[in-house]
Structure 1
């Protein structure tokens, strides 16, 4: 899966929210100041080239739809982030958020219990 630019990623969020849509409808949903329709169209075509969205001709225009599901992209994005910034260490990731006060000790305890339960359930199913 090719990496997305920030603008492409923001556009994908619109597709995941809206589903099948047109460039015109996307622009209408965007906050002021609205970008030029040509700008949005260029980003959408780039997403189609990268196989993130598909399209179907409807009359003289096109209807676009997401091909890559949000969960699939999130998994790929997080894997890349883990590899790039945390040397594939979940411990380093959690430690980072704990040190940045983004996770409270009680939340960390809950997370540990959830992971233990998930591992227990996996072992019971095997």
Structure 2
């Protein structure tokens, strides 16, 4: 199994971040994304995309499911407190974007640390 395949990294990050958040605080998804970015991401851009996607999905899917389960009542009330016009869908999307940014930046930091500690060998000309 090739763990450097971006199509495998996204579900791996999503599953690990979701599992860790069941037992640890919300910010534990940043630790997971950091480790994935450090350990297996090849490039900084790939690390950010994988971290963003995995973290965003780990919040988007449960938030959307809970929103559907209670007919959007709680999300509507929370969205009224924020400048979202009471839109429960907008609140779920904003939640996913916030989690995605946290995960993306954490994975990017991991990829940058790996690049500074273990630089790639120079290509011979």
TM-score, L = length of structure 2? 0.31
Larger CA Rg, structure 1 vs 2: 1
More strand by share: 1
More helix by share: 2
Work out which structure has the larger RCO, using CA pairs closer than 8 Å and 6 or more positions apart in sequence. 2
TM-score, L = length of structure 1? 0.31
